[in-house]
Amino acid sequence: MRLASIHLYPVKSLGGVDVAEATVEPWGLRGDRRWLALNPDGTYLTARTAHRMLGITAAPRPDGGLELTDRDGATLLVDPPHGGEPAMTTMTRLDKVVLAGQQAHDWLSARLGQPLRLAWLDDPRRRTVALDHGGEPGDLLNLSDAGPLLLATTASLRRLNDWIAEGAVERGEDLPEPLPMARFRPNVVIDGVAEPFAEDGWRQVTIGAARFRCTEQCDRCALTLIDTETLVSGREPIRTLSRHRRRDGKTWFAIRLVPIGDPAVVRVGDPVTAA
């Protein structure tokens, strides 16, 4: 098995970037999910309700800041707001975040058509992995929903796309285009896995020199229904996952990881072992 690709999503629910290597920190990959869009009342906005968010790409900068790019080519550079104004948030297990400057608020608000503030998690050591998501004392977390990293495999995606095609044939529909891995927003994608969904049974994974504990399978939400190119919702993959991967009233694809051991760098092509 090998590491096929690495993906960073610096702002929660915005589009992300593919990278050739990334540093694994205790709370996730460096540059991943450290920012979010806040509504005026302190709740945070996601692409589940604002599909347009997926049309804006966020790329990390070496200083911890951002480069935001819209599909029309408009860009904005955002510095990390060290010492900035704190703001309350409804993010679980986190009381506050730090606001970026007014220019960032205005740019994001104009692009998404509603009043928003861009906010930064200054210190991920202030947030932990919940016990009911496989967390243990000392497990730290960025702004991800439940785990520092999400791992998916190409074997499982191929099986899912086969199921989707089989379902279309049964219904007398035209064969759809295969779903891209981007629908699932994983951080690391593994190739060369012998069986689809073998990752469900993994307890530990090593990627290059980085070690991880597998905490749980990932339940999938309506965000996966949004076509990342057209920004329009459809019925897949939830319709097919509900048929083949439904358990406890939820559908499942990919697994969550917590880093263990010292920080390390992972690179595309790194060997992968699992047990």
pLDDT in tens, 147-179: 999 999 999 999 999 999 999 999 999 999 999
| Three-state SS at 218 | strand
Nearest Cα residue to 141 out of 175, 77, 91 = 91
pLDDT tens-digit readout, 194-221: 999 999 999 999 999 999 999 999 999 9
256/218 Cα distance (integer angstroms):
6
219/251 Cα distance (integer angstroms):
5
Q: Which amino acid is at 118?
A: L
Burial of residue 5, with CB atoms counted within 10 A of its CB: 0-12 exposed, 13-18 middle, 19 or more buried: middle
12/18 Cα distance (integer angstroms):
15
Contact at 8 Å (CB) between 105 and 87? no
Which pair of tokens denotes residue 4?
Answer: 């096929």
Average pLDDT, the chain: 97
Which pair of tokens denotes residue 94?
Answer: 């986190």
138/177 Cα distance (integer angstroms):
43
pLDDT tens-digit readout, 39-93: 999 999 999 999 999 999 999 999 999 999 999 999 999 999 999 999 999 999 9
Under the banding of pLDDT at 50, 70 and 90, the label for residue 252 is very high
Residue 62 CB neighbour total at 10 angstroms? 7
Q: Is the dihedral of CA 184, 185, 189, 191 positive or negative?
A: positive
What's the pTM value of the predicted model, to 2 decimals? 0.97
Measured at the CA of 71, the angle between CA 70 and CA 75, to 5 degrees, comes to: 30
Nearest Cα residue to 103 out of 78, 83, 81 = 78
Contact at 8 Å (CB) between 85 and 99? yes
